[in-house]
């Protein structure tokens, strides 16, 4: 799974806005300059994010955009959904979509809602505030913390999918 460039840029743009203390108005052009996002793309994203209620725009002297609520109250899921719509890994779980050739015979389709919910919940747990500060040393490493220092890792078996048989 990969985010679209637009969704990625939206997260980058919102993170830059949050670093400006969130409540201080900043022009889309300055956000574009700070992030390296092309100006027209930044303007388009600012409009989309404002329509979604994540940014507030003001005109005139001292105008610009600012976060609509504190960075800690805005999640990565909120930003992605503002740009791409509801988070759905497959089209069969989107309301009103019936374009899958396996529809009617697919045994996995009833479970995709659970998978989508788990992905969305994980993204909902990551706040914009957490993306607006420098990561802790070693953050992002895929090595479990207890093994990084020479300890032993405990292995766990992931839970079986409901209704699965061995």
Report the DSSP beta bridge partners of residue 110: none
Using DSSP's 3-state secondary structure scheme, residue 26 falls into strand
Length, in residues, of the chain: 166
Return the pLDDT at 158: 42
pTM here is 0.75
Domains of the chain: 5-131 (1.10.10.10)
The low-confidence residues of the chain, meaning pLDDT below 50, are 141-166
User: Torsions phi, psi of 27, nearest 5?
Assistant: -75, 145
Q: Are 62 and 68 in contact (CB under 8 A)?
A: no
Using one digit for the tens of pLDDT, what is the confidence trace for 108-119? Answer: 888 888 888 899
Return the pLDDT at 162: 43
CA distances from 97 to 15, 58, 88, 91, 93 (A): 33, 38, 12, 7, 7
Q: In this prediction, what percent of the chain has a pLDDT beyond 90?
A: 46
């Amino acid at each position: 799974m990969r985010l679209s460039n637009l969704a990625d840029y939206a997260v980058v743009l919102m993170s830059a806005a949050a670093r400006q203390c969130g409540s201080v108005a900043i022009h889309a052009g300055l956000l574009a300059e700070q992030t390296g996002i092309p100006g027209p793309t930044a303007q388009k994203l600012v409009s989309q994010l404002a329509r979604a209620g994540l940014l507030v725009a003001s005109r005139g002297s001292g105008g610009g955009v600012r976060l609509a609520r504190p960075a800690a109250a805005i999640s990565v899921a909120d930003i992605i959904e503002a740009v791409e719509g509801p988070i759905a890994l497959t089209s069969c779980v989107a309301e009103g979509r019936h374009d899958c050739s396996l529809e009617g015979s697919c045994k996995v389709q009833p479970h995709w809602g659970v998978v989508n919910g788990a992905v969305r919940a994980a993204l909902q747990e990551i706040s914009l505030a957490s993306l607006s500060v420098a990561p802790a040393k070693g953050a992002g490493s895929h090595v479990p913390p207890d093994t990084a220092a020479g300890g032993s890792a405990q292995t766990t078996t992931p839970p079986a999918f409901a209704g699965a048989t061995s």
